[in-house]
């Protein structure tokens, strides 16, 4: 069909090549004038509309990448030949569909051929543009899908982590941590380790084993004796109890117990007592003294051995332990921090108790372990303690002496301990597992039973090194740690023991006679010699140790009640006529003497010590009656003793003053006394002490006299039955005062020394007040008794505070004979608060390196014609059976390398933990009429903290308040002194189980409480 005739005025709208735009115009301008996605067939415009639209162009946008892409496309299309356009047009037919065609037009500015070519190009451009847009949309959809998928995957991962975090996790599950970190990485010990390396590298295998293993119970003069390394001239070491002084020795001092020492709250006295104990050990030839004790912590107020420690708070225990260790080791004697860790009760502490095959398991979660029970051990390591003793029982169902998490991870890595770990006596329960688990010394050398001569180490360790079950590196580290400790405290300068010199122990733990057997525990006839030289270690003159013993006992006496200023007493009485005084109770008198029962294992006479291996032989004991009978003026006062507990009302009716004595005893689980198997059965006074007090208080002076009650106890005693009696005017807790008991008490009663003791524990109104975790587990239906410390963070006063339980007398409480005022609290920031401590410092030193070649097994056999003593523990083998290398089945996790703890890097932990963050200053004024002591106690409360783990954001629980510092000052009447105490990063941090580090709160404010007990506060501040 021919094209219709055209009117002269008719104009067409050339969509792609408008006539006003020359063909030579640049492609950008051409493209800008076009509607790119539609062809001319899509428009139905009249000529007038078309004419009006010709000048309209799209604006040129130089910044548009899309515009650049359109320009490139046009340039490309313009460059194509007609044949290429035909090919491209044909190739896209399937995508484009049918071609509507163009109406022929012989009129216009171009020829028909050119118009046809332009139509083809336009058609191709439209198709390619559609393809480009489709691809672009598809590309963005794919990209968007990938992004959404990644987001969903991240959310899914976080969600799983959140679900995992929200699900119950067994906080008591055993954790494996291998291998044992080697010693010799701390600068302070570098010289000692270098000397040790020089000695150990020349030792034979049997010599190394001999140094790490005790020779057996009663096979030497001390309670623990290692074997010597004769070739290199390393001597046998003497290890001797204990925390109160040198056990089983003559001419020593029976010091006040640790609990009494803690009650002084006096750092100077703590150190002086430690120095005196160390001095006596040095004079008696003891290399390692088995003290101080800071475990048990006192979580269970009826726990049998609480009295050996310093109180029921980690900071009080940590300060007292640190000061004691510093004092002991100034003499060159190695101190031992014990019992590591969680030895909180005596019942079931060892296998065989009540017929059970295993010991109990103390189960504790990581945070409470760090913040409460490990705290004093960390302070001990920081004080450079030489030795740590692992405890009998299991911790989280692994025996403490083979617990790799405790010994390898926490003690030797996180706390940076450089000394050696020794077992409690028969606390070792395996051979290989204990070695790779971190134990360094087996005591006393016997294995699973007392004095049977069947060791877990000794010859068995030799065999296990030869068959490669125990790596040579581990044995080398064991012996190096022991030898380095010997050098570290300069014991290489001590006089050599026989036959080379006259050094070594000069007493026997097994006989009081001068001549005795050298190996008492053997059934064979063996060598005898002078075993007791009766060397006086007590000091004399102004340096006599009885002076420090008396000071500690006096300042460790706590005045809890003092109505009408009954105390201090007057030596002349308070009446015009004869003043009549009665002294009541068996606890006031000497009984049959302090050493009547072995290891003080009975309650008779006045109580000055608990029982067990932590006790000593008293050289003498001044009973309260011994001191009181000459304390009053004889011309004005009549004093009558009633040294029994079955007094009658008539015994008290004619008295003006009645002094009543009662007690409560306990001790180590191997002794039973009066129905008490170590742990107390309750918190009441024993031997009918409450009835004694009630009888006297109700009848003293026929109701008009004054009764003063004195309690000697191993821990808290419930006083509810009688403390509120009108006749009870004063109450003193004298704890366990040691040999100077009576003298120290008289010092306080008559005001020669201010009543300055403060409670190192809380006295509740009942045993139940201390909470379910504080109850001794006396029975068990399980083969492995499980003792779960679900609220281990809330020990003693922390539990009372958490549940708002009103105690009878709170932790830290005690009265004075004068009055004090605290004022002018000032808190100074020393460092900016940051969440985490500095990065762990890198070790600048490397552990000693030795050959790891397995020694010749023939060298480990008994030498020819060697005379063996029965039950003596030797390192030699009788045969080579079992010495060939084997594939030992190590515990789970043994081959999994562990990263060093971020909380480590120095003695006691990361050094930045001990940097002061805040300084607290205040004024203390004696407002009374007498000189006296005040104990200023600093507690903190944490701000609110939330911690994220996965998607879970949870609030961190804190005790209401925690003790963080204290000081004791002596002031004259009217005197004012400025006191300064500092708070370290660790003081202001909590242990995060997720970050495995000490974390400081950076948001919110800490509250500082300064006062006189855990509930009496004069000053409060925030920072």
Query: Does 424 participate in catalysis according to the annotation?
Result: yes
For position 438, what pLDDT does the model report? 98
The pLDDT value recorded for residue 515 is 97
Cα–Cα distance between 29 and 51 in angstroms, integer?
19
* CA–CA distance, 893 with 4 (Å, rounded to integer): 95
* Contact between residue 305 and residue 667 where contact means Cβ atoms under 8 Å apart: yes
Which of 79-88, 174-183, 348-357, 586-595 is predicted least confidently? 79-88
Q: Are 982 and 920 in contact (CB under 8 A)?
A: yes
DSSP type of residue 412: I
Percent of the chain beyond pLDDT 90?
Answer: 80
Give the integer Cα–Cα distance in Å for 206 and 133: 85
Question: Domain check: are 276 and 204 in the same one?
Answer: yes
Using an 8 Å Cβ cutoff, are 657 and 708 in contact? yes
Domain membership of residue 172 (yes or no) is no
Where does the pLDDT of residue 458 fall: very low under 50, low under 70, confident under 90, or very high at 90 and above?
Answer: very high
Q: Where are the alpha helices (DSSP H) in 372-416?
A: 375-382, 404
Q: Which two tokens stand for residue 457?
A: 């180490």
If asked whether residues 565 and 439 sit together in one domain, one would say no
**Tens-digit pLDDT profile for residues 609-651:** 999 999 999 999 999 999 999 999 999 999 999 999 999 999 9
| Per-residue model confidence (pLDDT) at position 79 | 54
- Considering 469, 499, 529, which residue would you say is the last residue of a domain? 499
CA angle 58-64-69, nearest 5°? 90
Which CATH number covers residue 907? 2.60.40.10
pLDDT of residue 38: 36
Q: Is residue 885 part of a domain?
A: no
The string of pLDDT tens digits covering residues 3-15 is 444 443 333 233 3
CATH number of the structural domain spanning residue 621: 3.40.50.1700
3-class DSSP assignment, residue 605: coil
pLDDT score, position 124: 62
Give CA 297 to chain center in angstroms.
Answer: 11
Q: What is the pLDDT of residues 934-961, one digit of tens each?
A: 999 999 999 999 999 888 899 999 999 9
Of 448, 485, 276, 421, give the one whose Cα is nearest residue 359: 448
Q: What is the DSSP letter of 808?
A: S
Query: Range with the lowest mean pLDDT among 31-35, 213-217, 782-786?
Result: 31-35
Q: Is 653 exposed, middle or buried (0-12, 13-18, 19+ CB in 10 A)?
A: middle
- Give the pLDDT confidence score for residue 624 in this predicted structure: 98
Q: Contact, 247 vs 255, CB < 8 A?
A: no
Q: Are 231 and 297 in the same domain? A: yes
Element housing 30 (H / E): helix 27-32
CATH number of residue 300's parent domain: 3.20.20.300
From the candidates 241, 250, 366, 424, give the one annotated as an active-site residue: 424
> Do 159 and 235 fall into the same domain?
no
Q: What is the DSSP string of 457-525?
A: STHHHHHHHHTTSS-HHHHHHHHHHHHHHHHHTTGGGSPPPTTTSS-S--S-SS-SSSEEESSTT-SS-
Tokens 């954790």 locate to 175
Last residue of a domain, one of 465, 499, 533: 499
Cis before 314 (ω within 30): no
Quote the number of domains for the chain. 4
Residues 6+ apart with CB under 8 A from 726: none
Residue 173 lies in a domain: no
Confidence of residue 45 (pLDDT cuts 50, 70, 90): very low
The confidence score (pLDDT) of residue 13 equals 30
Tens digit of pLDDT for each residue in 402-433?
999 999 999 999 999 999 999 999 999 999 99
Q: Which two tokens stand for residue 487?
A: 């050098």
Q: How many whole angstroms separate alpha carbon 440 and alpha carbon 387?
A: 10
CA atoms within 13 A on the CB side of 993: 15
Counting residues of the chain whose pLDDT is more than 70, the rounded percentage is 84
33 pLDDT above the threshold of 70: no
Residue 516 pairs in a beta bridge with 529
Can you tell me the distance from the alpha carbon of 533 to that of 493, in angstroms, rounded to the nearest whole number? 21
Predicted confidence (pLDDT) per residue in 735-771, tens digit: 999 999 999 999 999 999 999 999 999 999 999 999 9
Please give the residue that has the higher pLDDT: either 1019 or 41. 1019
Please compute the mean of the pLDDT values over residues 278-300 and round it to a whole number: 98
Q: What tokens does 127 get?
A: 């198709």
Q: Which two tokens stand for residue 820?
A: 């004090």
Q: Are residues 585 and 673 in the same domain?
A: yes
Dihedral sign for Cα atoms in the order 510, 516, 519, 523 = negative
Residue 150 shares a structural domain with residue 212: no
Residue 765: predicted pLDDT = 98
Q: Say whether pLDDT at 112 is over 90.
A: no
pLDDT of residue 231: 96
Alpha-helix residue ranges (DSSP H) falling in 265-399:
267-283, 314-329, 366-368, 375-382
Query: What's the rounded Cα separation, in Å, for the pair 284 and 222?
Result: 11
In a domain? residue 525: no
Average pLDDT, integer, range 344-372: 97
The string of DSSP codes covering 635-695 is TTEEEEEE-SS---GGGTTT-SEEEEEEEE--B-TT--BTTB-SS-SSSSPSTTHHHHHHH
Residue 303 CB contacts under 8 Å (≥ 6 apart), including other chains: 296, 344, 345, 346, 666, 679, 680, 715, 776
Q: Which two tokens stand for residue 416?
A: 């940076």
Q: Do 246 and 393 reside in the same domain of the chain?
A: yes
Distance CA 597, CA 957 (A): 47
- Asked whether the predicted pLDDT for residue 988 surpasses 90, the reply is yes
Asked if pLDDT for residue 506 goes beyond 50, the answer is yes
Q: What are phi and psi of 460, to 5 degrees?
A: -70, -35
- In this structure, the answer to whether residues 923 and 1008 fall within a common structural domain is yes
Residue 446 and residue 455 in contact, taking contact as beta carbons nearer than 8 Å: yes
303/263 Cα distance (integer angstroms): 18
User: CB neighbours of 601 closer than 8 A, spacing ≥ 6?
Assistant: 611, 612, 667, 671, 673
Is the pLDDT score of 1007 beyond 80? yes
Residues 249 and 120 in one domain: no
Structure tokens at 244: 């109160």
For 539, other C-beta atoms within 10 Å of its C-beta total: 17
Q: pTM for this one?
A: 0.85
Give dist(CA 962, CA 371) in Å, integer: 10
Question: Looking at 86-100, 470-484, 606-620, 932-946, which range is the least confident one?
Answer: 86-100
* Residue 809: closest CA among 864, 775, 765: 765
Give domain status of residue 865, yes or no: no
Pick the last residue of a domain from 134, 167, 200: 167
User: Quick one: tokens of 11?
Assistant: 């104009």
856 found inside a domain: no
Q: 447 and 590 share a domain?
A: no
Q: 824 and 797 in one domain? A: no
User: Does residue 21 register a pLDDT over 50?
Assistant: no
Backbone angles phi, psi at 702, to 5 degrees: 60, 40
Residue with the larger pLDDT of the pair 280 and 9: 280
Q: How many CB atoms lie within 10 A of CB 428?
A: 30
Q: Which residues lie below 8 Å from residue 483, measured CB to CB, with a gap of 6+?
A: 195, 196, 199, 200, 211, 234
Task: State pLDDT tens for residues 888-897.
Answer: 999 888 988 8
Order of strands across the sheet that contains 288-290: 224-225, 238-241, 288-290
pLDDT tens-digit series, residues 155-169: 555 555 544 444 446
Whether 324 shows a pLDDT value over 60: the answer reads yes
Using the predicted structure, report yes or no on whether residue 69 has a pLDDT greater than 50: no
Within-domain flag for 6: yes
Distance, CA of 614 to CA of 243 (rounded, Å): 6
pLDDT in tens, 428-449: 999 999 999 999 999 999 999 9
Which tokens in the block code for residue 693?
A: 């007090």
* Phi and psi torsions of 951, nearest 5°: -90, -5
pLDDT tens string 118-158: 666 666 666 666 666 666 666 667 776 777 667 666 655 55
Helices and strands counted in the chain (H then E):
22, 29
Residue 537 lies in a domain: no
The pLDDT of residue 142: 74
Mean pLDDT of the chain: 89
Domain containing 421: what range? 187-499
| 798 lies in the same domain as 825 | no
108 — pLDDT class (breaks 50, 70, 90): very low
* 304: pLDDT strictly greater than 90: yes
Tell me the per-residue pLDDT of 651-667, one tens digit each, with 9 for 90 and over: 999 999 999 999 999 99
pLDDT in tens, 581-617: 999 999 999 999 999 999 999 999 999 999 999 999 9
Return contacts of 949-954, CB within 8 angstroms, 24+ apart. Answer: 949/161, 949/162, 949/165, 949/994, 950/158, 950/159, 950/160, 950/161, 950/162, 950/163, 950/164, 950/165, 951/158, 951/159, 951/161, 951/162, 951/165, 952/162, 952/165, 952/166
Tell me the backbone φ, ψ of residue 323, rounded to 5 degrees.
-65, -40
Cis link prior to 444 (omega < 30° from 0)? yes
Burial letters 567-605, b for 16+ CB under 10 A, else e: bbbeeebeeeeebbbbbbbbbbbbbeebbebebbbbbbb
Q: pLDDT category, 55, cuts 50, 70, 90?
A: very low
pLDDT of residue 110: 46
Sheet holding 420-423, edge to edge: 336-340, 387-390, 420-423
């Amino acid at each position: 069909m021919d094209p219709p005739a055209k009117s002269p005025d008719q104009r067409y709208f050339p969509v792609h090549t408008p006539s006003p735009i020359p063909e030579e115009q640049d492609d950008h301008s051409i493209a800008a004038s076009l509607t790119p996605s539609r062809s001319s067939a899509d428009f139905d415009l009249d000529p007038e509309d078309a004419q009006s639209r010709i000048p309209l162009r799209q604006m040129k946008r130089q910044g548009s990448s899309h515009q650049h892409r359109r320009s490139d496309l046009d340039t490309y299309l313009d460059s194509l030949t007609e044949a290429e356009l035909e090919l491209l047009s044909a190739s896209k037919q399937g995508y484009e569909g049918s071609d509507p065609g163009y109406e022929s037009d012989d009129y216009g500015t171009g020829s028909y051929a050119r118009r046809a070519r332009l139509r083809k190009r336009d058609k191709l451009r439209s198709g390619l543009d559609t393809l480009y847009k489709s691809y672009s949309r598809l590309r963005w959809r794919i990209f968007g899908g990938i992004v959404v998928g990644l987001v969903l995957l991240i959310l899914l991962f976080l969600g799983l982590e959140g679900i995992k975090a929200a699900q119950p996790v067994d906080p008591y599950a055993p954790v494996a941590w291998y291998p044992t970190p080697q010693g010799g990485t701390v600068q302070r010990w570098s010289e000692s380790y270098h000397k040790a390396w020089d000695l150990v590298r020349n030792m034979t295998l049997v010599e190394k084993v001999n140094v790490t293993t005790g020779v057996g119970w009663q096979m030497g003069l001390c309670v623990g004796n290692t074997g010597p390394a004769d070739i290199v001239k390393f001597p046998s070491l003497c290890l001797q109890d204990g925390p109160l002084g040198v056990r089983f020795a003559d001419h020593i001092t029976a010091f006040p117990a640790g609990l009494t020492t803690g009650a002084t709250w006096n750092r100077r006295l703590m150190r002086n007592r430690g120095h005196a104990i160390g001095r006596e050990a040095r004079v008696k030839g003891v290399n390692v003294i088995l003290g101080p004790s800071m475990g048990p912590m006192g979580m269970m107020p009826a726990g049998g051995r609480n009295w050996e420690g310093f109180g029921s708070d980690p900071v009080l225990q940590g300060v007292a332990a640190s000061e004691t260790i510093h004092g002991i080791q100034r003499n060159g004697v190695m101190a031992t921090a014990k019992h590591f860790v969680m030895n909180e009760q005596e019942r079931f502490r060892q296998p065989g108790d009540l017929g059970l095959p295993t010991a109990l398991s103390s189960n504790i979660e990581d945070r409470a372990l760090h913040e409460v029970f490990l705290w004093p051990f960390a302070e001990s390591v920081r004080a450079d303690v030489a030795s740590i003793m692992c405890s009998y029982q299991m911790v989280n169902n692994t025996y403490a002496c083979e617990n790799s998490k405790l010994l390898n991870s926490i003690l030797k890595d996180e706390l940076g301990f450089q000394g050696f770990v020794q077992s409690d006596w028969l606390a070792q329960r395996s051979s290989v597992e204990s070695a790779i688990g971190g134990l360094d010394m087996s005591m006393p050398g016997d294995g699973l039973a007392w004095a049977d001569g069947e060791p877990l180490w000794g010859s068995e360790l030799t065999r296990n090194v030869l068959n490669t079950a125990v790596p040579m590196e581990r044995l080398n580290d064991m012996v190096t740690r022991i030898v380095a400790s010997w050098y570290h405290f300069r014991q290489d300068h001590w006089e050599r023991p026989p036959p080379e010199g006259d050094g070594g122990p000069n007493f026997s733990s097994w006989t009081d006679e001068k001549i005795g057997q050298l190996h008492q525990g053997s059934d064979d006839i063996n060598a005898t010699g002078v075993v007791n030289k009766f060397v006086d270690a007590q000091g004399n003159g102004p340096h006599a140790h009885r002076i420090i013993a008396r000071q500690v006992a006096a300042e460790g006496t706590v005045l809890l009640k003092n109505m009408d200023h009954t105390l201090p007493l007057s030596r002349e009485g308070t009446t015009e006529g004869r003043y009549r005084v009665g002294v009541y109770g068996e606890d006031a008198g000497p009984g049959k003497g302090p050493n009547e029962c072995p290891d003080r294992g009975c309650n008779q006479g006045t109580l000055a010590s608990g029982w067990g291996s932590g006790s000593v032989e008293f050289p003498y004991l001044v009973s309260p009656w011994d001191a009181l009978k000459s304390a009053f003026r004889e011309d004005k006062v009549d004093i009558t003793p009633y040294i029994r507990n079955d007094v009658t009302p008539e015994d008290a009716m004619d008295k003006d003053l009645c002094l009543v004595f009662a007690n409560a005893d306990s001790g180590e689980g191997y002794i039973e006394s009066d129905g008490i198997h170590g742990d107390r059965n309750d918190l009441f006074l024993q031997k009918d002490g409450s009835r004694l007090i009630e009888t006297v208080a109700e009848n003293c002076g026929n109701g008009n006299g004054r009764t003063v009650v004195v309690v000697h106890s191993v821990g808290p005693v419930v006083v509810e039955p009688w403390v509120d009696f009108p006749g009870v005017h004063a109450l003193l807790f004298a704890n366990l005062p040691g040999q100077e008991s009576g003298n120290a008490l008289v010092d306080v009663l008559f005001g020669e020394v201010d009543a300055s003791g403060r409670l190192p524990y809380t006295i509740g109104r009942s045993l139940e007040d201390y909470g379910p975790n504080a109850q001794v587990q006396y029975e068990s239906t399980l083969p492995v008794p499980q003792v779960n410390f679900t609220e281990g963070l809330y020990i003693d006063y922390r539990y009372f505070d958490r549940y708002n339980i009103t105690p009878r007398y709170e932790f830290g409480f005690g009265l004075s004979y004068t009055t004090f005022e605290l004022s002018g609290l000032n808190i100074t920031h020393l460092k900016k608060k940051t969440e985490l401590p500095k990065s762990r410092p890198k070790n600048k030193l490397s552990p000693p390196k030795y050959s790891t070649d397995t020694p010749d097994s023939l060298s480990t056999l008994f030498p020819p014609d060697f005379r063996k003593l029965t039950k003596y523990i030797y390192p030699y083998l009788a045969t080579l059976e079992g010495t060939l290398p084997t594939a030992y089945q190590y515990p789970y996790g043994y081959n999994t390398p562990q990263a060093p703890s971020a909380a480590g890097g120095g003695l006691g932990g990361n050094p930045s933990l001990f940097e002061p963050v805040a300084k607290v200053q205040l004024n203390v004024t004696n407002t009374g009429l007498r000189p006296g002591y005040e104990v200023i106690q600093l507690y903190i409360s944490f701000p609110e903290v939330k911690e994220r783990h996965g998607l879970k954001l949870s609030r961190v629980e804190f005790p209401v308040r925690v003790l963080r510092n204290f000081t004791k000052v002596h002031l004259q009447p009217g005197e004012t002194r400025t006191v300064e105490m500092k708070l370290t990063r660790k003081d202001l941090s909590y242990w995060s189980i997720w970050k495995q580090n000490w974390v400081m709160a950076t948001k919110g404010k800490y509250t500082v409480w300064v006062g006189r007990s855990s509930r009496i506060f004069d000053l409060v501040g925030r920072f």
